Structure 1
Amino acid sequence: MKKIMCSALTVFLVGSCGDKKESVKQEEIVITPNELHGAIDKVTEIMIHDIFSPPVASRIFAYPNIAAYEIIALESDNYLSLAGQVTDLTAIPKPEKDKPINYQLAALVAHMELSKQLIFSEQKMEKYRDSLYTIWEGKNPLLFNSSKDYGLTVADHISEWMGKDNYAQTRTMPKFTVNTDDPTRWQPTPPAYMEGIEPHWSKIRPFLIDSAEQFKPVPPPPFSMEKGSNFYKELKEVYDISKKIEKEGDSSEEIQIAQFWDCNPYVSVTRGHLMFATKKITPGAHWIGIVKIASRKTNSDFDKTVYAYTKTSMAIADAFISCWDEKYRSNLIRPETLINQNIDEDWKPVLQTPPFPEYTSGHSVVSGAASVALTDIFGDGFAFDDDTEVAYGLPVRSFDSFEEAADEAAISRMYGGIHYRAAVEVGVKQGRDLGEYIMNKVKMTPSPSMASNQD
């Protein structure tokens, strides 16, 4: 059995002057899942404020979770290290033998430190961190400081590995060039006409998939504006659904689904000469919110909560790498552009079109992958009430399984007028295939035979 840290105890410290001894009570420091949920909620809040793109947001979630998980795995018999499983990840340093360590505290310290490195508004993260530090240090200075130091040591180790994932290099690569001569290619869309974001995301080092193109989907239907072609039928389907929604108004089930799963951090609002952004969570952040819901419903302890966040965030991160690889390969034009050019020049989608190519649907791929990870962790037929969007003025939606939620998230993109059917259906399959591969590849809990050997 690995070392388990002590609970409340009383120690005697020798004063610096003479033989006088001072009795100092060292209280137990208990780290609960609520502190971890709070840290991740704070990161999400900051990412909304700083307006990170969906792919970048997935990276911000993944690395801190892995750092926390590796510390938990080092101390626990219930979890296995990701070193040697995740690309290029090596074993974290072990703590000094003579130092008392609260591993849950160290894990949260590492998580917050890496989160702080990955966002812009560092002071917001520091404020949350310092509020916890004050409580912990007041209870047990010796245990707090040694655990904090160890957490920071692990954060440095993960940070060094993180720095080699090609993210910094992609910041200096050329911007995406729009091909205005090809009617099949993506064009920037109103109202902001933003340039394509993260065109080089496929060059980011994956966590568990072999390469960005490993789950390359089938191509989209051949482009054709002939009315009998499959492509035109899908375009017209998007338009017809939007007209149906328009007639039904806000009572439409389709519009409620579309709005619930919008998750577009780039929504721009134009009023007269003014343009401003309404800030929302990303698709990955919505699924991270579902991890919290499932963890709380099952009363998962701190270690299992870290495990759930880590496994799901790695699936989400690799799903974005896979999806963005296809987006900038097929570089397909969005429905909004074609409908305005060929069917109705005044038409607007229910949701604002995000600034990147159409195929495949990012939310569909990510939802497929995340739902597989969550099913692997919490089981089939896991019913839950999704209140993730309540903070953004939307009501709770209920689901009988993670798979059902993923299917709804995928079809929401067509209801919203921003994707064709193929991007949705192929996208969710792409995500599920990727998710199944990851769940079969990564080993984070010991097999029954391993567990018996440890006993």
Structure 2
Amino acid sequence: MNHLKTKIYLLLIIIVFASCSKPAEHIKVSPELFHQAIDRVMEIQIHDIFSPPVASRIFVYPNIAAYEILAKKSTKFKTLVGTLNGFESIPQVDKSKEVNLELAAIIAHMEISKNLIFSEEKMSSLQDSLYLAWGTTNKQEFDQSKAYAFEVVDHMKKYMAKDNYNQTRTMSKFTVDTDDPSRWQPTPPSYMDGIEPHWNEIRPFLLDSAQQFKPEPHPEFSLKKGTKFFEELMEVYNVSQEITKNGDESEEIAIARFWDCNPFVSVTRGHFMFATKKISPGAHWIGITKIASRKTNSNVEETVNAYTKTSIAIADAFISCWDEKYRSNLIRPETIINQNIDPDWLPILQTPPFPEYTSGHSVVSGAASVVLTEIFGDNFYFEDDTELPFGLPVRNFKSFYNASSEAAISRLYGGIHYRAAIENGLKQGKALGHFEAEKLKL
């Protein structure tokens, strides 16, 4: 009996030592983790109500950090050093450490995102759940990967601090010129100040300057019949009358609402005013990037590459567009129509609080469509379910260009842009997109 007990005891010792000597499991990182992190950022952006230009900044820096970490081992994608304005190499990896670069990339992505939002606890909750799982799987690999990720985060914070964003927070508000009838005026129902009037002072990522893709001037302001400007004004009014005559069932209204992407819509009910929140135009195209990445079964490197290059183009598109908006400072259709044609007229979409020319949707959609076409190819059919959380149905597109054209014309259907802002904005965005796609062929 004692001999048997001894054998069992020795067997248990062998099992314990064998299990202790077994190598810890390697932590696996899937593309879905990056989609999950992006989705969480979108949720927080909606909650925190970031303006479209600021939202573009929140997307781009985490993506760049993740991309640069993965570029350390990639045979397909090269570093952005020498391509991005003012960007220097991230810290080197200590090869004596057990650093999982894919793990470091997602950790850095989430940590930088948390630094750019208000509701940090919403990102921390995602981080904490993942950190617990990773630490249980392989504590050494997790700890050393996290330590490297935070080195990159510190590096990125220094880069971010030099983009002039903090300085623009202290600059003067936009001054409304009420003596000039062509100049932008705050619009109902909230009559908000013009947002981000100094966004053209943000450091571009690839552009030489905010003025590099300055569009052609809009038609000269005039309320005389027969002039180009008056014709475009009346087109906005007449189109809205036509597409609403049979109620809210027209295809044009469906298009306008699908591409609304207004982060803050004021709703008045009696004496109460509240806001309905949605994603920004740039976030919609980040959502399309996710759809394309999933459809093509992109791996981690390919997924981060798509997010990074698309978000860079979107960020530069906002800088370019906002430069023109506050230079031309053009009045919105709603103001002129109410003052001169029909005091009771309302656009289908709520007019956003910034000047009219050029259309932000057009510029951003044009730029994003070019870069996505460069990555995934033309004639890329996809089902866009980005707006499902906001009660809007899926729309199908035969290509990214097809989607960008619809996004642009949606602003006419919505009653918030003249045709020149739409067509010239799309040209501006596509020209910028081709420039960026060429620069990003790494």
TM tier relative to shorter chain: over 0.9
**Could you tell me how far apart the structure 2 residues matched to 1:76 and 1:155 are?**
20
Tell me the distance in 1 between the aligned counterparts of 2:22 and 2:139. 10
Q: Does residue 135 in structure 1 map to residue 133 in structure 2?
A: yes
Instruction: Name 2:25's counterpart in structure 1.
Output: 27
Shift of 1:23: 3.1
- 1:77-122 CA distances to partner (integer Å, 9 max, x unpaired)? 1110001110000111112121011111000011001000000000
* 8 Å contact from structure 1 (residues 361, 427) kept in 2: yes
- What is the DSSP-based 3-state SS (H/G/I as helix, E as strand, rest coil) of the residue aligned with 2:140? helix
How far apart are residue 25 of structure 1 and its match? Answer: 4.4
Give the share of equivalent positions with the same residue, in percent: 67
Residue of 320, 323, 333 corresponding to 2:321: 323
Gaps of 5+ in 1: 1-18, 445-455
Amino acid corresponding to residue 89 of structure 1 in structure 2? F
Structure 1, residues 371-427: CA drift from partner, whole Å, max 9, x if none?
A: 001000000110000000011000000000000000000000010000000000000
CA distance in 1 between counterparts of 2:285 and 2:64 reads: 17
Match of 1:186 in 2: 184
- 1:165-180 maps to which residues of 2 (within 5 A)? 165-180=163-178
State the AA in 2 paired with 1:285: A
- Ranges in structure 2 where 5+ consecutive residues have no aligned partner: 1-16
SS, match of residue 437 in structure 1: helix
Structure 2: how far apart are the matches of 1:163 and 1:83? 17
Deviation at 1:251, TM superposition (A): 1.5
Deviations along 1:291-330, one digit per CA (max 9) or x if unpaired, are: 0000000000011000000000000000000000000000
Deviations 1:48-69 (A, max 9, x none): 0000000000000000000000
Q: Once the two structures are superposed, what CA deviation does each residue of 1:254-285 show, in whole Å capped at 9, x if it has no partner? A: 00000000000120000111111100000000
Q: 1:249 & 1:433 partners in 2: Cα distance? A: 38
Partner Cα separation in structure 2 for residue 413 and residue 269 of structure 1: 20
Question: 1:22: how far off?
Answer: 4.5
Q: Partner of 1:383 in structure 2?
A: 381
| Residue-by-residue CA offset, 1:182-235 (whole Å, 9 max, x unaligned) | 100000000000000000000000000110000000010000000111100000
Provide the rounded CA distance (Å) in 1 between the counterparts of 2:423 and 2:289: 24
1:416 and 1:144 map into 2 onto residues whose CA distance is 49
Q: Tell me which of 212, 215, 223 is aligned to 1:217.
A: 215
| Matches of 2:398 and 2:335, distance apart in 1 | 36
Q: Secondary structure at the match of 1:52?
A: coil
TM-score by length of structure 2 reads 0.95
Alpha-carbon offset, residue 248 of structure 1: 2.3
User: What residue is the counterpart of 2:13 in the other structure?
Assistant: none
Q: In structure 2, what is the equivalent of residue 248 of structure 1? A: 246
Give the SS at the match of 1:92.
Answer: coil
Number of aligned positions between the proteins: 426
TM-score by length of 1: 0.92
Map 1:357-372 onto structure 2 (within 5 A): 357-372=355-370
| More divergent stretch after superposition (72-81 vs 320-329) | 72-81
Q: Is the 8 A contact 1:287 1:367 kept in 2?
A: yes
Query: Does structure 2 retain, via aligned residues, the 8 Å contact 1:206–1:321?
Result: yes
2:60 to 39, 59, 62: 62
Matching of residues 26-425 of structure 1 within 5 Å:
26-425=24-423
Paired amino acid for 2:343 = E
C-alpha distance in structure 1 between counterparts of 2:145 and 2:209, whole Å = 36
Work out the CA distance in 2 between the residues paired with 1:244 and 1:114: 47
Contact 1:411 1:424 in 2 (8 A): yes
Between structure 1 and structure 2, the one with the greater Rg is 2
Deviation of the 1:362 alpha carbon: 0.2
1:80·1:443 contact (CA, 8 Å) conserved in 2?
no
Structure 1 vs Structure 2 CA RMSD: 1.2
Q: Is residue 349–residue 417 contact of structure 1 (8 Å, CA) maintained in 2?
A: yes
